[in-house]
Every structure is written in C-alpha cells, then in structure tokens.
Amino acid sequence: MSISGAHSTSDIRNIALVGQAGSGKTLLTESLLLEAGVIRSRGSLERGTTVCDFDPQERQLRHSLDAALVHFPVSDRHVQLFDTPGYPDFAGRALTVLEAVETAAVVVSAVNGVEPVTQRMMDFARDRELCRLVIINKIDAKDAQPEAVLAQLRELFGRELLPLNLPAQGGKSVVDCFFDPGPDAIQPPDFSSVETAHTEIIDQVVEVDEDLMALYLEQGEELSPEQLHDPFERALREGHLVPVCFTSAETGVGIKELLNIFARLMPNPLEGNPPPFLRGEDGQAERVQVHADPSQHVVAHVFKVNIDPFVGRLGIFRVHQGTVRSGGQLFIGDARKPFKVAHLYRLQGKEHVEVPQAIPGDICAVPKVEEMHFDAVLHDSHDEDHYHLKSITLPPAMAGVAIEPERRGEEQRLSDALHKLVAEDPGVRIEHQAGMNETVLYGMGDLHLRVLLDRMKDRYGVGCKTKSPSIPYRETITRPAEGHHRHKKQTGGAGQFGEVYLRVEPLPRGEGFEFVDEVVGGVIPSQYIPAVEKGVRQALNEGAVAGFPLQDIRVIVHDGKHHPVDSKEVAFIAAGRRAFLNAVEEAAPIVLEPLVRIEVTSPSAATGDITGDLATRRGRVSGSQSLANQRTRISALVPLAEINDYQSRVKSLTGGEGAYTMELSHYDPVPPRKQQELAQAFKRAED
C-alpha cells in the first residue's frame, strides 16, 4: 500500500468522515481506498483487517476509537481522508481533526437516520465555517429509507441540503443529477426525478452569482459544471449549499461517484474558508490571515498527538502556510529554542511513509519531539510566536472514576500513564481532589473510561483499582455581606500586622470569581493587594458549609490598615483569608450540585419507562423527538449525583437498544435535606 507522486496545494482535498457509530464510515473508507487502487481487497471489521481500525482495542471492539488518516489519488487530485470514531464518548477525538480539513463529510445511515452525533457534527462544522457534505450510506440495506432520511435531514438542517445523485433500482445503483444528468427513462431514481434534483441544485448555486443567474434565467442556457465551479465553492463556503449523495459501502454502490465528487466539487485549501488564526491572548487577540503560500513563513497546527510505547510521541499537524522540510528547524508556540525536523512522515493508517517536505494543505507527522502538544502552532520565524488557532469547545468530560494503583509503589507509573492519556486525548481530564484524597479520571462516558483503563493496563502496564468518585459539589453565597479581620502577631522580633475590610456579593451562576480593589488613600499599600487576593483564593477552596470549593462570588476589598514596619505579605494573606470566611458565613452560603443535560435515544415503546426513571432521579424532562424506525430521543436535566449507574439502567429499560449522551449544563442548589446531610458529614470529618 503506497502512494507516490508530487502534488500542489490546489490538488489537495482534505476531508473528514464524521457521524454516528454504525453509519459505516470505516467500511466507506475501505471502499474508497479499493476504488482508488490503493488496496487490493476491502478489509473486514469482523476480522480486524481494515486500514483505519488498526489498534488492538479497535479490532477487539470492532469499532473506531480514534481518528485515522489515509491518503489516495483521484485522477490528478490528492485526497487526505480521516475516518473518525462515531461513539459520543469519543466526540473529542473526532472534533479535533476537523481543525485540519476544509470539508466535513457527515455520514448518515439510511436505516437509522439522524442520530445525536449527526446533529453535533453538522452544528460544529457549520459554526466552524467548514464546507459540509452529507453521505447517506447503506441505501441497499433491508430496512433502508433513503427518501425519508433525506426529508428528515432537510427538515432539521435546512432546504439547502440538495442531492447530487439519487438511488435507483432499490439502492443497487445511483443516478447522477449534476455532472451529466440523463433522462429518467434511462434509469429512473427510486424517488423524485433527475430533472427536479438538477434544477434545484443549479438554482441554489447560481443564487450566489448575479451574472451567472442572469445568464441562466434570461438566456435559458444550460450551465456546465466548469461554469458552476466557482459559485459552487462559494455556496459551500457560505453554507448556502450542503450537497447530499448516496452510497452503499457494503456493495460499492455510489463509491466511484463519491470519489468524483471529492475530486471535482470539494474545496482545496485555497478555496475553503481560512482557518481562524489569532495573535495575542484573551481580549487582546486579533484575527490574522495565513496564506496557503509555500514560499512564506511556516505556520502549522498540531491537532493530534499519539504516544506509542515503541515509536514515542508523534505530533500530527496540518501545514497552513510555508513549506516544512525534513532537516529544517521549527519553533513550538513562543519557545525560544527550535527543534530539528529529523523525520517527516505521511500517515497511511498505521504506516508511516517518510517524505522530504510538506506544503500548505499537507497533513504530516513528526516523531520524538517531547515538547509537542495538542493545539500547538509550529512556525520557523519568531514573527509568529504568538499565533494560535481559535479554541474549539469540546464536550466537557463528566463521567468520572476514582483510581489508585493496584500495587503500592506504582504511584509514579500511574501518574506518567495519566499524563500520556491527557496528551493524546483532549477529552480526558485528571483531577486530584485533595480534600478527599482522590485522583479522578474523567472521560466522556462509561465506554471512554473503560477504553482508557484498558489502555493503561495493556500499553503502559499500569493496573488500577476503581470506585465511584465523589460528586464535585460547589458552594456559593445568596446575599451580600461584610467581612473584617485584623491579623496581629508579635514574637519578640519583627511582628506581623494586616487588617482587611471586604464585601462579598453573589454573581450569576457560572460566572466564577471576581476580585475588585476599591481601596483608596493607601490604607492598604498597593503591593499588599495581591496578598489579600491570594488569601481569599486560598479560602475559596475550603468551602463554608460542607468543604466544597466556592464559586460565583465577587469580593470587594474597600478598607484596611497597615503598619510601616510590621506589615508583610504573609499578614495580609492571613487577614484576607479570614475576612473572606467571616463574610461568607454571614452571606447565607449554600451547596450547589452539577446538573447534566442528558439525551436518551431508545425504542419508542420504552419512552414511558425512561421518563419515569428520570423522574425518580430528580430529572426534569425538557422534550422528546420522534426519530426514524420507531425510536425516540428524550432530553432532560438530571443531577449528576443521581446517574452513577445510568448506563446499566438504560440497557435494562430498553433491552440493550438504548443509548445516551450527557454534558454539563449548570450548577443548581441541592435540596435542603441533602445540604444538611453534606454539612453534617463535613463536620464529622473535621471533628
């Protein structure tokens, strides 16, 4: 399996296959590679012989767990294609590779229709201003409903979803509706008509070009694909058009046509919307333009890091500007010291093919650079030191498990393995809860956690004991209050003195913490104000009711006293901390609990059981939606504390046919009885 030959940036097509697990993305990739002549036979999920699912865990589970990259030629084009995981638990691994492509190809099953991951990927690609293509797969399956699925897609995502081809002969073939549409009499489609589909898509494309529209309407001329190319690309960029095509990865129907669509209609790096690069930090950041010009300074973005016990750290990046050459030097972020590009690889599944250089649009990898990290910007000039790509918002890691090594003395090995997991997967979070002496591994769901724990054992040789983690409760205040403390200490030598008056006020939920300095007249010298804030921040972590961190509070320091000799930083740290705790005690503190937004997809017959079970868990159902094949999606808000065992419960209620996704929504006050229990437990622990 090898690819050779030089290409230019205008020849490149960067595409990611995204969509729900089971929609057929991995087999679709196999069929595309076979049709392109890169492999001699299509691999099998059952036998674990596909190009993209090469990890032992993937072969065992028969599902993609990580994004994999392949490349292949189509005519004189160079296609770089990602196969991404479709389980909601691995959404982070799919979303991050979308940073490297111009086109998100959303694969939808003609049997199951629109599922939760379909919605998420369509919305993300739209918000990130990527061009979108919808592939309705499995059109010849027994229960396929391609017409109904197309109608569902258009209802959910807009009338700009228009078919480039249509299924025919019960899904055994497809008929072209764009490039060279023939009369329906030759091969009638299973629904609609070629003429209708052709007219709809031409009308949609010419709307973005007034001159072409005039030519089309006034002269009644038939427009060629070449005439339509530029407005077609513009319509894609503006989201004015989302093409739809039909395939069967199982039998190869529509695969040749899909390759033609990739090559002739999908944007190259010069045609897609420019990546959102920024210079500077936070509110000072300004948008900067990078140009797909091989002669300018290098600007590349690391969107993925792999850590292999044998190969080491592999940084995978997309070149946006300039030319990266083997043997050259690059900086990582604002680092002052460059690293040498000792080897430059192009990836083909698990294979690494060494290449001499990478131009704008290329996706390559550099091994064994320990400083390489996710979201880093690589460049060869200090002019781009402060460049970064606009951050993406990943679903928060909410499913957690408290872990400790199986054997004593392996704490350091466990810590090293956890750091590698975090480096590889931006959807992983590690939190050490000092008050509870717990290390908690957070992921996107139960399957994600199971895969991570298996990976630690199989790859890094670290076994773990696990238990349910403590719930990450928080505390806040409900009314303003004043606080005051004088710290005075005399030990024979130099003393300590600091006095602080402050006020606390509640902030809207989710606002965090705000510190305001309103001291006038120098009663607290300016050099001691940071010490007061430090003392307040120390107290934030201690809690006032049940020992949980405080949030959503504004602290205003407005008065105090100092001593010209005895005042020190440590005195104002102590005074600030104590004054804050005094104020919080008077501010009617309460305990908050995390609520998660949960979406349960189940057979419609189980809807009543699901909603009833959610009600017993203090859940509030916010809506339901009917899906294809007698399935229903139920949305609800539920306290995180109530769904520790929800995976097994959903399986039980739905006969194994249900699934759910969840993400943090917000924090709400716990019921009074629960707050009393938490406060009493905290008091007993203190005693």
Instruction: Quote the pTM value.
Output: 0.76
* pLDDT over 80 (residue 631): yes
Do residues 445 and 408 make contact, with C-beta atoms less than 8 angstroms apart?
no
Do residues 384 and 377 make contact, with C-beta atoms less than 8 angstroms apart?
yes
In this prediction, residue 4 carries a pLDDT of 42
Query: pLDDT (tens digit, 9 = 90+) per residue, 492-505?
Result: 667 899 999 999 99
Domains of the chain and CATH, by start: 9-192+241-265 (3.40.50.300), 277-389 (2.40.30.10), 399-467 (3.30.70.870), 475-587 (3.30.230.10), 591-674 (3.30.70.240)
Query: pLDDT (tens digit, 9 = 90+) per residue, 135-169?
Result: 999 999 999 999 999 999 999 999 999 999 999 99
| Mean per-residue pLDDT, 306-320 | 89
Query: pLDDT (tens digit, 9 = 90+) per residue, 164-218?
Result: 999 999 999 999 999 988 776 578 999 999 999 999 999 999 999 988 888 888 7
Residue 378: name the closest of 421, 315, 326, 428 by CA: 315
| Mean per-residue pLDDT, 650-657 | 78
Dihedral sign, Cα of residue 459, residue 460, residue 465, residue 466: negative
How sure is the predictor about 490, in pLDDT bands with cuts at 50, 70 and 90?
confident
In this prediction, residue 1 carries a pLDDT of 43
* pLDDT over 80 (residue 659): no
Residue 47: name the closest of 31, 39, 38, 58 by CA: 58
* pLDDT over 50 (residue 3): no
Do residues 22 and 86 make contact, with C-beta atoms less than 8 angstroms apart?
yes
Spatial separation of the C-alpha atoms in residues 641 and 618, rounded to whole Å = 10
Average pLDDT taken over every residue of the chain = 90
* pLDDT over 80 (residue 34): yes
In this prediction, residue 224 carries a pLDDT of 85
Q: Which residue has the tokens 């196999």?
A: 30
In this prediction, residue 10 carries a pLDDT of 95
| Mean per-residue pLDDT, 278-282 | 84
